[in-house]
Amino acid sequence: MTPILEVSDLKKTFPGVKAVDGVSFSIEPGICFGLLGPNGAGKTTTIEIIEGILKPDSGIILYRNEKRGKTFKEEVGIQFQNTELPQYLTVFETLKTFRTLYTRKANLDWIVDVCHLTEILNRDNRKISGGQKQRLLLAIALTNDPELIILDEPTTGLDPQARRHLWDIVKGIKESGRTIILTTHYMEEAEILCDNIAIMDYGKIIDKDSPENLLLKYGDGATISIKSETPEKIINAVSCDVYKIEDTIEIHTNSLNECIQNLAHAGADLSNMTVRTPNLEDVFLKLTGHTLRA
């Protein structure tokens, strides 16, 4: 299958910083592709180059096996991280306004339905909630009937309910046969929505694969958490990695049954023990490190 988008050896340098350093990936039609990375990893710069906002120092971007031409912006929908809506317009008036800017025009009824906007169509933009605003911004990105949609951290700042509501909308858009590029800081979001993921750090892609394969590759072992007033008894009972976080002991082990048996034999209180298998966040931290970056 011919990729809808191919990025080859993309590079971009700012004064003193290699923001993007040889990034390459391809995206098949009809999938959700996640681009993940800590702050400063280069993912936003990569996205802005793809969108045409920034010019790369070098590298090739192909859309449907050809260099991006004038039709690219007509065929791509973009939801930016921060967008101000026109004041004094209703939701429906806003959709109609943005739709007139394009030659390609999506069916408004479909947009309203897929983005769950029916109940707020006649509401002033100043009177909608954060979650409703994000749904409207996503709807605006669909007004030109795009085949490729770029969503740059679309759920940042939303409460858990609004975030999950937006996930359902993104799934519905993908089911319509469209391709999505998603950047996000929420690992659960990426694990649920993305078919393939590229993890970036320091301007490079560390690895790329499906969430399932990344977990198989890097998500070994399990983590045992125990609240204990006698942590030394637990620490001395096991020979694997142990971390003390306030009143909780966390143990990372590749031999779960053996570790639990050793804890029980040492007389550790296991009544409040929890066991967690690895998730995408564990993989992300394993590949990019635990150090906080501004």
pLDDT in tens, 222-237: 888 988 776 677 777 7
pLDDT in tens, 9-51: 999 999 999 999 999 999 999 999 999 999 889 999 999 999 9
Give the pLDDT of residue 189: 95
pLDDT in tens, 120-158: 999 999 999 999 999 999 999 999 999 999 999 999 889
For every residue of 14-54, DSSP letters joined together read: ETTEEEEEEEEEEE-TT-EEEEE--TTSSHHHHHHHHHTSS
Domain layout of the chain by residue ranges: 5-216, 221-277
| Stated pTM of the model | 0.85
- Domain range 221-277, CATH class: alpha beta
Give the pLDDT of residue 291: 59
Is the pLDDT confidence value at 269 over 60? yes
Give the pLDDT of residue 293: 57
| Interatomic CA distance for residues 117 and 99, integer angstroms | 16
| Interatomic CA distance for residues 37 and 124, integer angstroms | 36
Provide CATH code, domain 5-216.
3.40.50.300
Q: pLDDT confidence of 265, banded at 50, 70, 90?
A: confident
Mean pLDDT of 61-89: 90
